[in-house]
C-alpha cells in the first residue's frame, strides 16, 4: 500500500528581482492508495509529476512521509525503488543501452546473475511486448511507440509490485496508445498513471485531481472527472503549483 502522510514538497526558486524564495510545489497531501488502478489528472504545472515522483522516491517530501508497504521513501529509497517501477513520458529518458535486448537485460542484472540466462529472459520479456523481431536492432531505429513499449518492458522485467507511469501514452498515436493502455490494463500490479487522456482515466478505480499543488478531488472516475472538467472550463487561476509561495514549510 502507498501512503502519503501530511506530505509537502517545496523548492527554492529565483524571483525576477534575483532573490531566492521557497515555493510549495505540492501539499499538504495525505492519501492511502490501495486500489489496483489509480489515475492522476490535472492541468499542466499542477503538480502531477511531483506527486508521481514522490511514490518511488525520485522526489523526497520536504515535510511528512511517503511509505510503500511500510517502507519510508526517505530512509529506504533503494528498497522502495525495487518495489515501485517508474515509467517516464519520454522513453529516451530511461533507455540506456544500444539494443532492446541489452536494455532489458540490464534491468535483470540484479535478479539473473548468469549472462546467457539473462539474455534468454530478456528475449522472453520482449516477446511478451511484441518486440521479439526488434530485439537486436539499434534502439534509435524503433518507432516512438516501440520505444515506449521497450521502456515499459525494461521496468516490468524487474517485476515491481507497483508501477507508476507519468503520461506513458502522451507521445503515442492511437494504435500504440491503445496497445499500451491494454498492456497496462492487463497487469497484475497496482498501477498509478498520470494522464491527460480522460477516457483512460475513466477506466481507473480511483481518480485524483491535482490543482495548484494539491489534490482537489479524489474518488470514483465519474465524479472526479466532472470536477476536473468544471475546473478546466472555469477561469484559469491557481493551476500552477510552482507559483504558490510556501508559508512556514521547510525547504
Ligand atoms: N525543482 C523544482 N524547482 C522549482 N519548481 C519546480 C521544480 N519542479 C517542478 N517545479 C514546478 O512545480 C510545478 C509542478 O510541476 P509538475 O512537473 O509536477 O507539474 P505537472 O502537473 O506534472 O505538469 P505537466 O502536465 O506539464 O507535466 C510547475 O510549476 C513546475 O515548474
Ligand atoms: Mg508532468
- The pLDDT assigned to 9 comes to 97
| Ligand 1 lined by 57 (C-beta under 6 Å) | no
- The pLDDT assigned to 108 comes to 95
pLDDT < 70 stretches in the chain: 236-251
Q: What atom of ligand 1 comes closest to residue 240's alpha carbon?
A: 29
pLDDT tens digits along 82-98: 999 999 988 999 999 99
What's the rounded Cα separation, in Å, for the pair 34 and 22?
32
Tell me, in angstroms, the distance from the centre of ligand 1 to residue 135's CA.
35
From the CA atom positions of the chain, what is the Rg in Å? Answer: 19
45: left (phi over 0), alpha (psi -120 to 50) or beta: left
- The pLDDT assigned to 249 comes to 36
What's the rounded Cα separation, in Å, for the pair 225 and 41?
8
Among protein residues, the one with the nearest Cα to ligand 1's atom 25 is 44
Ligand 1: which of 47, 51, 53 to mutate, judged by most atoms within 8 Å of the beta carbon? 47
- The pLDDT assigned to 239 comes to 58
Tell me, in angstroms, the distance from the centre of ligand 2 to residue 49's CA.
4
Which ligand sits nearest to residue 21's alpha carbon? Answer: 1
| Ligand 1 lined by 44 (C-beta under 6 Å) | yes
Say which CATH class 2-243 falls into.
alpha beta
pLDDT tens digits along 122-173: 999 999 888 999 999 999 999 988 999 999 999 999 999 999 999 998 878 8
Helix 174-186 vs helix 144-156: crossing angle, to nearest 10: 10
What's the rounded Cα separation, in Å, for the pair 58 and 92?
17
Domains of the chain by residue range: 2-243
Q: What atom of ligand 1 comes closest to residue 167's alpha carbon?
A: 27
| String of DSSP letters for the chain | -EEEEEEEEEEEEE-TTS-EEEEEEEEEEEEEE--SEEEEEE-TTSSHHHHHHHTTTSS--SEEEEEETTEETTT-HHHHHHHEEEE-SSGGGT--SSSHHHHHHHHTTTT---HHHHHHHHHHHHHHTT-GGGTTS-GGGS-HHHHHHHHHHHHHTT--SEEEEESTTTT--HHHHHHHHHHHHH-SSEEEEE-S-HHHHHTSSEEEEEETTEEEEEESHHHHHHHHHHHHHS---S--GGGSBPSS---
Residue 245's CB is within 10 A of a number of other CB atoms, namely 12
| Ligand 1 lined by 46 (C-beta under 6 Å) | yes
Amino acid at each position: 500500500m502507498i501512503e502519503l502522510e501530511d506530505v509537502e514538497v517545496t523548492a527554492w526558486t529565483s524571483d525576477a528581482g534575483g532573490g531566492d524564495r521557497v515555493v510549495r510545489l505540492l501539499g499538504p497531501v495525505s492519501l492511502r492508495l490501495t486500489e489496483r488502478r489509480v489515475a492522476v489528472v490535472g492541468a499542466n504545472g499542477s503538480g502531477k509529476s511531483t506527486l508521481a515522483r514522490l511514490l518511488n522516491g525520485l522526489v523526497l517530501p520536504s515535510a511528512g512521509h511517503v511509505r510503500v508497504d511500510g517502507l519510508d521513501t526517505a530512509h529506504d529509497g533503494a528498497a522502495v525503488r525495487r518495489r515501485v517501477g517508474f515509467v517516464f513520458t519520454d522513453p529516451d529518458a530511461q533507455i540506456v543501452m544500444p539494443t532492446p535486448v541489452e536494455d532489458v537485460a540490464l534491468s535483470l542484472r540484479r535478479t539473473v546473475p548468469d549472462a546467457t540466462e539473462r539474455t534468454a529472459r530478456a528475449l522472453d520479456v520482449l516477446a511478451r511486448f511484441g518486440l521479439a523481431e526488434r530485439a537486436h536492432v539499434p534502439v534509435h531505429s524503433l518507432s516512438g511507440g516501440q520505444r515506449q513499449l521497450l521502456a515499459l518492458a525494461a521496468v516490468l522485467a524487474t517485476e515491481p509490485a507497483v508501477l507508476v507511469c507519468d503520461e506513458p501514452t502522451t507521445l503515442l498515436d492511437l494504435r500504440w496508445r491503445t496497445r499500451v493502455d491494454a498492456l497496462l490494463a492487463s497487469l497484475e500490479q497496482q498501477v498509478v498513471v498520470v494522464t491527460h487522456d480522460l477516457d483512460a482515466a475513466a477506466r481507473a478505480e480511483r481518480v485524483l485531481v491535482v490543482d495548484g499543488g494539491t489534490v482537489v478531488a479524489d474518488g470514483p472516475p465519474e465524479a472526479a472527472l466532472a470536477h476536473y472538467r468544471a475546473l478546466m472550463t472555469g477561469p484559469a487561476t491557481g493551476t500552477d503549483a510552482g507559483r504558490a509561495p510556501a508559508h512556514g514549510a521547510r525547504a
